[in-house]
Amino acid sequence: MRTQVAIIGGGPAGLLLAQLLHSRGIDTVVLERRSRAHVLSRIRAGVLETGFVGLMEQAGVGQRMQAEGYLHDGTHLACGEDMFHIDFAKLINRHVMVYGQTEVTRDLYAARDACGGKVLHDCEGVTLHDLETDAPFVTFEQNGTSHQLNCDFIAGCDGFHGPSRQSIPATVRREYERVYPFGWLGILSHTPPVNDELIYANSARGFALCSMRNAQLSRYYVQCDAQDKVENWSDDAFWDELRRRLPSAVADRLVTGPSIEKSIAPLRSFVCEPMRWGRLFLAGDAAHIVPPTGAKGLNTAASDIHYLFNGLVQYYAEGCAEGIDRYSEKALARVWKTQRFSWQLTRLLHAFPEQDAFDHKIQAAELAFLRENTAAQTAFAECYTGIPY
């Protein structure tokens, strides 16, 4: 088999890149390890920066998002009983789109199918070869048959556990990591959201987040111990703990119901440098991970794809390699800014085991300053709605 750009990973990063390249006549093949049903069963975050919305429109995949997504003009932060609103629309005339990553992925798969895009599922043993030559290739097995995919470039969109990052020599890779001493226990329920916009809550018992997917589908999280197990949490135990971490006026109006999904996600910050090695380009979770506090995982994958897409178009359309040569530098510059925001918000809103009374007072003072200071709120709004590509 041969294609121009081999894309490893059929998650949102790989699919978005494939659809964008297709819009400019550039051929791709997506190699995905899991079945489509498995990929679409994943529950992930659901807050899209304006840049991401623009890329989906550019890829011709924005219709359902615009019809079913929710524009949020701001978000709420709570500290104990105190809750305040940061109004993105009023401060910087920006907003975010609330639309689940599962739906983003579903829309991208539908677009791939509609244009006859090649997405191969159940690909085993994906291995990258000859990355430092102008004729790289990928080998893999599918249904017991071995295949070789020859290509010009490889986009490693295979997430944190995929083979692409490991294909960069260990002597070249520089990895930066912070593992947090807690996780997020998340629940999805067919209940009306407790609030019209998200609530990020710092409480003495730990962090909590009130989010949603639509008017009858709510998504909630509570910070839990990193070693905790989802089987330790009945639905009632979750709802009781969530109420304890919210301002009482919010807790009193919480509508509970049976969980249709319940899981624990670990939290880490991670960046791999460089994001390019020869003809391999890393994008999305393959290159970096953020704690979900700032909803930056999917959105940073999108900015990587923006830089990589434009670099590849410049290469194929103009024979100019400047965009792909500067990809790693440009992507990482924005990656680190979103890492900073995610790390800062995680430190601001969570209870850390080693925290003492002074630390708690500093968190409360930071939130009080954010409540009162327009410049601080403006900086928050610019980071949350998405710094420019």
In this structure, the strands spanning 199-203 and 74-79 are parallel
Choosing from 95, 288, 296, 330, the catalytic residue is 296
The DSSP line for 118-186 is EEE-SEEEEEEE-TTSSS-EEEEEETTEEEEEE-SEEEE---TTSSTGGGS-TTT-EEEEEEEEEEEEE
Is residue 75 a contact point for ligand PHB (CB under 6 A)? Answer: no
Contact with ligand PHB (CB under 6 A) among 292, 311, 323, 386:
292
Closer residue to ligand PHB (CB): 47 or 128: 47
> Under rule CB under 6 A, which residues in 135-164 are in contact with ligand APR?
157-159, 161-163
Q: Is 72 a catalytic residue?
A: yes
The DSSP line for 309-374 is HHHHHHHHHH---HHHHTHHHHHHHHHHHHHHHHHHHHHHHS--TT--HHHHHHHHHHHHHHHH-H
Is residue 107 a contact point for ligand APR (CB under 6 A)? Answer: no
State the nearest-atom distance from the C-beta of 38 to ligand APR, in Å.
7
**CB neighbour list of residue 277: distance below 8 Å, 6 or more residues apart:** 131, 132, 167, 168, 169, 172
State the nearest-atom distance from the C-beta of 378 to ligand APR, in Å.
26
Backbone angles phi, psi at 8, to 5 degrees: -95, 115
Largest CA distance in the chain: 63
The span from the CA of 87 to the CA of 73, in Å, is 6
Which one, of 283, 286, 260, lies nearest residue 43 by Cα? 260
Which one, of 179, 190, 280, 199, lies nearest residue 243 by Cα? 199
Closer residue to ligand APR (CB): 256 or 300: 300
Contact with ligand PHB (CB under 6 A) among 119, 295, 301, 302:
295
Is residue 34 a contact point for ligand APR (CB under 6 A)? Answer: yes
Closer residue to ligand PHB (CB): 24 or 42: 42
Is residue 159 a contact point for ligand PHB (CB under 6 A)? Answer: no
Half-sphere exposure of 314 (CA within 13 A, CB side): 14
State the nearest-atom distance from the C-beta of 49 to ligand PHB, in Å.
12
The label of the residue with tokens 């850390």 reads 352
Is residue 11 a contact point for ligand APR (CB under 6 A)? Answer: yes
Q: What would the x/- binding string for ligand PHB be over residues 15 to 54, using CB under 6 A?
A: ------------------------------xxx-------
The span from the CA of 93 to the CA of 258, in Å, is 38
Q: Is 384 a catalytic residue?
A: yes
The label of the residue with tokens 């890829």 reads 59
Choosing from 292, 315, 316, 350, the catalytic residue is 292
Is residue 219 a contact point for ligand PHB (CB under 6 A)? Answer: yes
Contact with ligand PHB (CB under 6 A) among 19, 191, 203, 293:
293
Contact with ligand APR (CB under 6 A) among 6, 20, 39, 208:
39
Is residue 282 a contact point for ligand APR (CB under 6 A)? Answer: no
Closer residue to ligand APR (CB): 78 or 155: 155
**CB neighbour list of residue 205: distance below 8 Å, 6 or more residues apart:** 241, 244, 245, 351
| Rama region for 159: left / alpha / beta (φ>0; ψ in -120 to 50; rest) | left
Of these partners, ligand APR, ligand PHB, none, which one is at the site of residue 47 (CB under 5 to 8 Å by kind)?
A: ligand PHB
> Which stretches of the chain bind ligand PHB, using CB under 6 A?
45-47, 198, 209, 211, 219, 292-295
> Which stretches of the chain bind ligand APR, using CB under 6 A?
8-14, 31-34, 39, 44-45, 101, 123, 126, 157-159, 161-163, 284-285, 297-298, 301
State the catalytic residues: 72, 200, 292, 296, 384
